[in-house]
A and B are shown apart, each in its own frame.
Chain A
Amino acid sequence: MEHKNINVKLKVWRQKNSNDKGSFETYDAKNISQEMSFLEMFDVLNEELIGEGKDPIAFDHDCREGICGMCSMYINGRPHGPWEANTTCQLHMRAFNEGDTIVVEPWRANSFPVIKDLMVDRTAFDRIIQAGGYISVNTGNAVDANALPVDKAKADAAFAAAACIGCGACVAACKNSSAMLFVSAKVAHLNQLPQGEPEKNTRVLNMVAQMDKEGFGACTNTGACEAVCPKEISLTNIARLNAEYAVASLSATK
Chain B
Amino acid sequence: MLNSKIPAGPLDTKWVNYKNTCKLVNPANKRSLEIIVIGTGLAGASAAAALGELGYKVKTFCFQDSPRRAHSIAAQGGINAAKNYQNDGDSTYRLFYDTIKGGDYRAREGNVHRLAEVSANIIDQCVAQGVPFAREYGGLLSNRSFGGTQVQRTFYAAGQTGQQLLIGAYQALERQIALGNVTQYSRHEMLDIVMIDGKARGIIARNLITGELERHFGHAVLLCTGGYGNVFYLSTNAMGSNVTAAWKAHKLGALFANPCFTQIHPTCIPVSGDHQSKLTLMSESLRNDGRIWVPKKQGDNRKSIDIPEEERDYYLERRYPAFGNLVPRDVASRAAKERCDAGYGVGTSKQAVYLDFAAAIQRYGKIEAGKRGIEADAATITQMGKDVVKEKYGNLFDMYAKITGENPYEEPMRIYPAVHYTMGGLWVDYELMTNIPGLYSLGEANFSDHGANRLGASALMQGLADGYFVIPYTIGNYLADEIRTKAIPTDHPAFADAESKVRDRIHMLMNIKGTKTVESFHKRLGKIMWDKCGMARNAEGLKQAIKEIQQLKNEFWSDVRIPGEINEMNPELDKANRVADFIELGELMCLDALNREESCGGHFREEHQTEDGEALRHDDKYMYVSAWEMKGDHDWQLHKEDLNYEVVKPSQRSYK
Contact = CB atoms under 8 A, between A and B. Distances in A.
A214 interface: no
A159 B69 CA distance: 18
Most A C-beta atoms less than 10 A away, residue of B64, B281, B402, B561 = B402
Nearest to A136: B175
A150 B126 CA distance: 14
A23 interface: no
Most A C-beta atoms less than 10 A away, residue of B167, B280, B469 = B167
A64 B403 CA distance: 11
Given A123-B65, A126-B66, A131 B178 contact: yes
A217 to B, nearest CB: 21
B239 A64 contact: yes
A148 interface: yes
B53 A139 contact: yes
Contacts of A61: 239
Interface in B159-185: 160, 162-164, 167, 170-172, 174-175, 177-178, 184
Contacts of B64: 62, 68, 70
A141 interface: yes
A68 B71 contact: yes
B129 to A, nearest CB: 5
A193 B157 CA distance: 15
Contacts of A63: 69, 71, 73-74, 238-239
A64 B160 contact: no
A200 to B, nearest CB: 12
Given A44-B275, A146-B141, A162-B164, A130 B569 contact: no
A193 B239 contact: no
A64 B238 contact: yes
Nearest to B125: A142
Contact of A123 (B66, B140, B405, B569): B66
B74 A55 contact: no
Interface in A50-73: 50-51, 53-56, 58, 60-70
Interface in B119-152: 121, 123-130, 132-141
Interface stretch (A83-91, A98-106, A219-227): A83-91
Interface string B66-84: 1111110110000000010
Nearest to B71: A63
A151 B139 CA distance: 5
Given A47-B519, A115-B209, A66 B399 contact: yes
B476 interface: no
Most A C-beta atoms less than 10 A away, residue of B67, B281, B563 = B563
Contacts of A54: 563
Given A47-B517, A139-B125, A195 B130 contact: yes
Interface in A28-54: 33, 35-37, 39-40, 43-44, 47, 49-51, 53-54
A77 B233 CA distance: 33
A40 B276 contact: yes
Given A55-B564, A139-B468, A90 B128 contact: no
B543 interface: no
A209 interface: no
A121 B64 CA distance: 11
Contacts of B125: 137, 139-140, 142
A43 B171 CA distance: 33
A62 B239 contact: yes
A106 B70 CA distance: 22
A239 B84 CA distance: 40
B517 A90 contact: no
B167 A162 contact: yes
Nearest to B167: A162
B418 to A, nearest CB: 12
A232 to B, nearest CB: 11
Nearest to A1: B405
B472 A139 contact: yes
A94 interface: yes
A119 B569 contact: yes
B167 to A, nearest CB: 6
A144 B124 contact: yes
Contact of A159 (B65, B164, B238, B278): B164
Given A68-B64, A162-B164, A36 B572 contact: no
B241 to A, nearest CB: 8
Nearest to A206: B178
B272 interface: yes
Contacts of B69: 62-63, 68-70
Given A64-B239, A68-B74, A146 B128 contact: no
B53 A150 contact: no
B10 interface: no
Nearest to B404: A1
B89 interface: no
Nearest to A195: B130
Given A50-B561, A146-B140, A195-B129, A133 B275 contact: no
Contacts of A121: 65
B132 A158 contact: yes
Given A67-B160, A135-B171, A163-B160, A33 B124 contact: no
B85 to A, nearest CB: 6
A220 B202 CA distance: 49
B568 interface: yes
A134 B74 contact: no
Contacts of A165: 163
19 contacts: A35-B272, A35-B275, A36-B273, A49-B563, A50-B561, A51-B517, A56-B564, A58-B569, A66-B399, A67-B163, A90-B402, A92-B402, A115-B569, A123-B66, A135-B171, A137-B129, A140-B125, A151-B139, A190-B130
Given A62-B71, A115-B569, A152-B136, 19 more contacts: A1-B404, A40-B276, A53-B563, A56-B564, A63-B73, A63-B74, A64-B278, A90-B403, A116-B569, A126-B177, A140-B121, A145-B123, A145-B126, A149-B140, A152-B137, A156-B132, A158-B130, A162-B167, A163-B160
For the complex of A and B, 3 pairs with smallest distance between CB atoms: A149-B139, A134-B171, A142-B128
